Amino acid sequence: MVDKQEIDLDQERNEILNAYRGLLRASKNYRDKNDTQLIRKAFDIAVDAHNDMRRKSGEPYIYHPIAVARICVEEMGLGTTAIVCALLHDTVEDTHITLNDIEEHFGHKVRTIIDGLTKIPEVFDDNISLQAENFRKLILTISDDLRVTFIKMADRLHNMRTLDSMRPDKRLKICSETEFLYAPLAHRLGFNAIKTEFEDIIFKYKEPSIYEQIELKLEKTKEVRNRFIRQFTNPIKSRLDDELANYSIKARTKSIPSIFKKIQNKHVTFDEIYDIFAIRIIVDVPFEEEKPACWKIYSIVTDYYQPNPDRLRDWVSTPKANGYESLHTTVMSPSGKWVEVQIRTKRMDEIAEKGYAAHWKYKDNTAQDNTFDRWVGEVRALLENPDINAEDFIDEFKLNLFNDEIYIFTPKGDLRVLPKNSTTLDFAFDIHTDIGMTCIGAKVNGKLMPLSHVLESGDQVEIITSSKQKPKEDWLKFVASARAKSKIKAALKEEMKKIAADGKEILQRKLRSLKVNWSSENIQALERFYKIHGSTEFYFQIAKGKIDLSKIRQLEIKNYNFLAPKKTKSKDSSEEKVMQEIISGVNSKKDTIVIGENFKEFEYKLANCCTPIPGDNVFGFITATDGIKIHRTNCPNATQLMSNYAYRILKATWQSNRIKERLTALSITGLDDIGIVNSITNIVSGVHGVNMKSISFESEDGLFEGKIQLFVYDTEQLDELILKFEQIEGVKQVTRI
């Protein structure tokens, strides 16, 4: 009789082999016989190394590296080296395999990529965000070998697709990390399809009820939408059949997060969004014929439908900084609905979906290398700054990711791409660091403008410099580009060091007069006494006259060492101790704060930034100075807290939905009408247990916007109120602030 477990294991082996064959089928256009042997060797090593490992779902771990390798091939268009590295990407971190083993079997290049994919060891340090350091290591690889970043992106995508098997708190942590860095990075590298999927999954887990509502509405309107698309595209197809050989027409439905964002920003309902979908026309022509072909299709579309001149976007003539090329226009359909039409070539479409991984395939035909190489140069400049810590680095780097772009011309007509909201000073630093450092103003379209003047696409800018000009701290307030911020901070630090040298000399003279030894221990004691962190800052404050050195006499001088007269711990150190006690006293994976009950003698409070109420999905965060704070999972600060400080996150839930009243706020917008305020206040007074703290309304051009602060017991009561407000005639939107 055959053991059941053996049957299961045999079945698993067959399924693993089937998954491997699927990878080979997907990569058949990317490999030869030697490549196949390399992939097989990597597969065999990975299977053996992960033999006894299983994922949270219970399935064999090897499914994950195979899936990551397949994403690299099918969705990124990467080749054999990437497949081998994807199959082996977790072996060094999680198994007995070493980097030397990798190099012995596959060579130095594969070793380098695997090393880049291996995380920093988890060394606990309160002063450094471990996740920020991991992000920094990922970003380091951008200027080294892009395949590290591509494989890491594929790894994260598969983890996001399999989130159902994770604990809810783990899901939110992974979603927050993805939202914080991976989605913006996918956008910047041109992985439009992956970026959209990231955002969709994040929204699904962070706002499950809203996601479900919009998904249901999309499903209900699907047939009507498809019928409209057929009617709209039929006349265009007839002309294209006659005039173009190879083309295709697709309909792309807007993602659920994009729909919700539009509802929020435009204050409209689902039914009022005109661009729920877009028509995409893709033509396959040689590179030299691309631009004329796109404009020819534009001409055909506008022969049938009237275009909106304000909605024409020409990214064929001037591609975006992430390589995106397409021609967008919005036209009026016979039924009176606006429809967005995107026109691009097969090459442009592949780059739009697969980003720079596809871009290398067409490298010889495009002029986009400079744009991307310039961006990598900016990243490298950030990395070369020795004074920047991991978290500041991530903040600076993120400035380069999600910003929209503007296009500015030099006096000679050269085109420069800058982040939206860039000023004349950003433009100066974009031209050259020395020009930025000495910039005193600019001529914008012939008119004299200050450093803080915000530029618009199409501006022609001439920078005015002076050898007497020096960077100022105020400059940081109005520059938008990471490059300018980084260069200004570096210059200010250099200037600070010069001033600090004078402060150091002043302190040395003071200590000599007191007959006190100059030593690092004494300097540290003084820093603690004056509550200043870092010797450079300390010397700088002395030079600026902001530190009273006469107070040194308050310290006891003993054996040429400073000792505080009282051995009482400062508030800062006691607060730090409290945080350490909480961290060491809880198990972040198992412990749950039940709000309304005592939690292991540790104090917790509701955060003011998001004012959670019973019924909200919440989590606890161990602060450095104020115990444990309870935040909503969709709090504006949640993404940063979960992605950077995961070890300080605790699960939390409500003891009961009706503990006590909590303050919350609603925003109401709609058509201004007599009696509408009275209708709103009547509803509030009619719902049992709800009290109103404040109400304010503003009206302009027939529209009103109101804000109400209310005391409610739970989200159920709040949802009841929102529903009743939405039923008032004239009210367009009700949102929780």
Rounded-to-integer distance, Cα 200 and Cα 633, Å: 16
Which phi-psi region, left, alpha or beta, contains residue 58 (left: φ > 0; alpha: ψ -120 to 50)?
left
Strands (E), 4-101: none
Residues 595 and 618 sit within 8 Å (Cβ to Cβ) = yes
- Of residues 322, 21, 311, 357, the one with CA closest to residue 157: 357
- The SS3 call for residue 574 is helix
- The SS3 call for residue 560 is coil
User: Tokens 């996740």 identify what position?
Assistant: 131
Q: Where are the alpha helices (DSSP H) in 319-432?
A: 346-359, 369-383, 390-399, 424-431
Any residues with CB less than 8 A from the CB of 84 and at least 6 apart, and which? 38, 39, 42, 106, 110
Three-class secondary structure assignment of 423-474:
EHHHHHHHHCHHHHHCEEEEEECCEEECCCCECCCCCEEEEEECCCCCCCHH
User: How many residues are there in the chain?
Assistant: 737
Q: Where are the alpha helices (DSSP H) in 79-207?
A: 80-88, 91-94, 99-106, 108-117, 130-140, 146-161, 168-177, 183-188, 192-206
Strands 277-283 and 306-307: unpaired
User: Tokens 């400049």 identify what position?
Assistant: 381
Which phi-psi region, left, alpha or beta, contains residue 314 (left: φ > 0; alpha: ψ -120 to 50)?
beta
Tell me which residues are annotated as active site.
93-94
